[in-house]
Chains A and B, each alone.
Chain A
Amino acid sequence: MNIAKLMGAVALVTLSTPAWAEPVTINLWTVDRPGEYHYKMAEEFSAKNPDIKVNVRSVQFPDMVNELAKAMATGEAPDVTYIDNPDVALFASRKLLLDLKPMVDKSSVIKLDQIFPGPLASVSYKGGIYGIPRGANTIALYYNADLFKAAGLDPAKPPKTWDEVYDAAKKLTNKDKGVYGLAFSAAASEEGTFQFLPWLQMAGGDYNKVNVPGGVQALALWKKFIDEGLASKDTLIRGQWDSTGTFNAGNAAMDISGPWELPRMSKDAKFDYRVALLPVPKDGAPRASALGEGDNVIVANSKHPKEAFKFVEYMYEQMPRVWNEFGYMPAYPVKVDKPNYPQAYEVFNESMKFARNRGPSPDWAKVSKAIQTAIQTTLTGQSSPENALAAAQKSIDGVLSK
């Protein structure tokens, strides 16, 4: 009788759990730091299931894909891990993730038809389900109601269409006071793609169809924002967090970003800030919004798929808590009592219905790069929107046809 068995027997006596088997350890990788979502989930789950121990390891967000690929190649991958949603297809296409469909079909906890279409699309690949969203986020239009009033605009009627947002940005821009009309991110990184894709999708395009008239129109509008000084030139190199920093400081009257900004904004912004849905190309056009956050996935060769799935189910059940405790949007409609930042929550929650996945493509990084290049060459004036998007379409076709 070894020690583990002995302990199992002791556990049986003391806790009277049917733990004949040795306690199972599942490994979890996360981009969270101690005290955040995954650490809390692991702690709660282990407390409720003494026969399953969850080991958590933090990996830096930008390193996750590299680290995971390396670990999978050398057989040292965790059982459960977090993957940012556009990267799910990369791993699923190589059969490195467990298809959860058979287990989900039998699950009494996870109901696929409940999940918002965007997050559901992000875990679906060729008929399989390769992860379960832990939450979601999306982007919307923040605006400074005080500056709206000062500029003679009605803060109860935020811009709804692209023309309106352009007009509002023009009226709100005040060069003498160093106030730009709009802040957003067109950086040559995933953030630039994240911000541009909804504009493209509202105008009838998508990641695989960028060369559409609506896309040209969107990019031309972005160029107008920069060229006419309605948005800072630094928009080209600045991420969303830094752009929103200028909004919080009162140096931009409108800002496009997500719910993760709210804790800082509620401290830094000394004005009446509100949130509105992203403007659409014209009245009646379909809405779209970006889809952020990521998924809990199980690695294909996990030794404890059953226990891992139980853990994933547990996390899925906690969805009503994610907004108030962790700051993500729920990935399926839940009732949130007394949500933090109620006005923003309502808008972001509405926006979740239109949030659309990036991809899926196993070569998402290359697709995204082509979109970033189109944005950057247009905004720096090296290329017209038409030529930039035609070039992007050519490289995307090349990537997707492989």
Chain B
Amino acid sequence: MLRFNRVFRDGGGFDSALVLLALAYLVFFSAFPLIYNLVISFQSVDLFTIATFDRPFVGLENYRDIVNDPLFWPVVRNTILFVGVSVVFQLAIGLALALFFRLDFPGATWLRGLFLAGWIMPGLVVGAIWGWLLAGDFGVVNWLIQSLGLTQQKIFWLSDPSISIYSVIIANVWLGVPFNMILLSVGLAAIPADVYEAAELDGATRLQRFFTITLPMMRAQLGAVISLGIIFTLQQFDLFAALTQGGPSNASNVLQYWSWELAFREYRIGHGSVVSVFMILVVIFVATAYVRSTRHEHVV
């Protein structure tokens, strides 16, 4: 007992217990599902074998089916488009707003706080609202652009296959901007004011200050925001469910939605897992980049 006390209180026992607790949590809730998902992707799984572990292994068959599926490349292309365009615009608008709110004007902080309202709203609610805004026949957006005389024809934002993916992107950018803005604001606040003052005294213009001070000193934050943006965007499911269901004719289908469709609409659970394995690989790659960018932070 004494010995235990000594180890636990004074030695490394307590530290190890804390670490083990966190580790156990990770193993249970992260590692296990990930590995389980990987295992399922090599098995033939349907609704009725989902509760047992004893399922036939089919090797790479599921992978072959998915890669040869005529939907595979269009869906990959859509996913890259969705993630790429979303992240670029979220970041650009988020940074612009962060810089804007850095200007000291009355109400700046609380206006900035209000922006967060959008971010805390559930995706399905945001999706439903954008659904009304973008509706083809009676949508607010169409009414607006028609009354402004920008177009005579209605734009079928959600049901025109060449446009629908961009409609989801618009909603997703709106949803992601506040998060980007807040994270970047924090980064901006950490840059010491005297650096700017010194540069100003030396005659640096606003633009020069932005490119030689702000951007380099924000490197870590930008890296983090971009990585998190990619991960969040890859997770974006609700907006697709609420707006287009990946349609029409899969024109706005992306990996995360396709995976769900395969597993829970067609009950091809093994195939759905294959798609999510692909996504995990991408996320691991991005997460590595994120970890590296935050490691950089400690040096600064």
* Interface residues of A, Cβ cutoff 8 Å to B: 65-66, 69-70, 72-74, 94, 96, 178, 187-189, 232-238, 246, 251, 365-366, 369, 373, 376-377, 379-380, 382
Q: Enumerate B216-255 residues with CB–CB distance to A below 8 Å.
A: 244-251
Using CB atoms and an 8 Å cutoff, list the residues of chain B in contact with chain A: 47-52, 135-138, 156, 158-161, 164, 244-251, 264-267
A373-B249, A377-B249 as given contacts; A251 in contact with B137, CB under 8 Å: yes
A74 to B267, CA, bound (A): 18
Knowing A188-B245, A377-B249, the reply to whether A232 touches B50 (Cβ < 8 A) is no
**C-alpha gap A72/B135 in the complex (Å):** 41
- Of all chain B residues, the one with the shortest Cβ separation from A375 is B249
B164: A residues at CB distance < 8 A: 237
- Complex CA–CA separation, A319 to B224 (angstroms): 62
Give min CB distance, B77 to chain A, whole Å: 15
Q: Across chains A and B, which 7 residue pairs bring their CB atoms closest together, nearest first?
A: A73-B51, A376-B249, A69-B47, A236-B248, A233-B156, A380-B249, A234-B136
| Closest Cβ neighbor of A68 among chain B residues | B47
Partner of B249, one of A188, A233, A369: A188
Check if B248 sits within 8 Å of A237, measured CB to CB. Answer: yes
* Interface contact A65-B248, CB-CB below 8 Å: no
Check A233–B160 contact: CB distance below 8 A.
yes
CB distance from A378 to the nearest CB of B (A): 9
CB distance from A245 to the nearest CB of B (A): 10
Task: Offer 9 A-B interface pairs, CB within 8 angstroms, sorted by A.
Answer: A66-B264, A69-B50, A73-B50, A187-B245, A233-B156, A233-B160, A246-B138, A369-B266, A382-B161
In the bound complex, residues from chain B placing their C-beta under 8 Å from that of A94 are 48
Interface centre among A69, A237, A246, A251 (most CB of B within 10 A): A237
**Bound: A366/B266 CA distance, A:** 6
Complex contact A382–B249 (CB within 8 A): yes
Cβ contact of A234, chosen from B52, B156, B249, cutoff 8 A: B156
Question: Is B249 a contact partner of A70 (Cβ separation < 8 A)?
Answer: no
Q: A69-B50, A70-B51, A232-B137 are in contact. Are A188 and B246 (CB under 8 A)?
A: yes
Cα of A232 to Cα of B136 in the assembled complex, Å: 8
Partner of A369, one of B137, B245, B265: B265
Nearest-Cβ distance from residue A15 to partner chain B, whole angstroms:
42
Majority DSSP secondary structure for residues of B touching A = loop
State which of B47, B160, B246, B248 has its C-beta within 8 Å of the C-beta of A66. B47
Q: A234-B158, A251-B137 are in contact. Are A379 and B48 (CB under 8 A)?
A: no
Given A365-B265, A366-B266, A382-B161, verify A237-B245 contact (CB < 8 Å).
Answer: yes
CB distance from A364 to the nearest CB of B (A): 10
Q: How far is the CA of A373 from the CA of B249 in the complex (A)?
A: 7
CB of B244 within 8 A of CB of A237, answer yes
Bound state CA distance, A366 and B262, in angstroms? 10
B152 to chain A, nearest CB (A): 11
CB neighbours of B248 from chain A (8 A): 188, 236-237, 376, 379-380
When distances are taken between beta carbons in the complex, the residues of chain B under 8 Å from A178 are 137
Give every chain A residue within 8 A of B158 (Cβ-Cβ): 234, 237
Q: How far is the CA of A178 from the CA of B249 in the complex (A)?
A: 26
Closest to A75 in B: B51
B51 in contact with A74 (CB, 8 Å): yes
Q: A244 → chain B, closest Cβ, in Å?
A: 14
Partner of B159, one of A69, A237, A246: A237
* Set A69, A236, A376, A377: member contacting B48, Cβ < 8 A: A69
- Cα distance A270–B50 in the bound complex, in angstroms: 50
| Complex Cα–Cα for A72 and B49 (A) | 10
Interface centre among B49, B52, B137, B245 (most CB of A within 10 A): B137
Q: Are A365 and B251 closer than 8 Å at their CB atoms?
A: no
- Cβ of B49: which chain A residues have Cβ within 8 Å of it? 73
Interchain nearest-CB distance for B174 vs A (Å): 20
A234 touches B135 (CB 8 A): yes
**Which residues of chain A have C-beta atoms less than 8 A from B135's C-beta?**
234
Residues of A within 8 A of B265 (CB): 365, 369
**Further contacts, 14 of them, CB under 8 A, given A65-B267, A232-B159, A365-B266:** A73-B48, A187-B247, A188-B245, A188-B250, A232-B156, A234-B158, A236-B248, A237-B244, A237-B247, A237-B248, A238-B159, A251-B137, A369-B265, A379-B248
Cα(A188)–Cα(B258), bound, Å: 13
B residues within 8 A CB of A369?
265-266
B49, B52, B159, B250 — which one has the most chain A CB atoms within 10 A of its CB? Answer: B159
How far is A232 from B139 in the complex, measured between Cα atoms in Å?
Answer: 13
Closest to A189 in B: B245
With a cutoff of 8 Å between Cβ atoms, the chain B residues found around residue A379 in the complex are 248-249
How far does the Cβ of B43 sit from chain A's closest Cβ, in whole Å?
A: 15
Cβ-defined contact, B137 with A234, below 8 A: yes
Contacts of B51 in A (CB 8 A): 70, 73-74
Give min CB distance, A295 to chain B, whole Å: 18
Known: A188-B247, A236-B248, A237-B245. A70 touches B50 (CB 8 A): yes
Q: A74-B51, A189-B245 are in contact. Are A233 and B159 (CB under 8 A)?
A: yes
| Measured CA separation A118–B230 after assembly (Å) | 50
With a CB–CB cut-off of 8 A, which chain B residues contact A233? 136, 156, 159-160
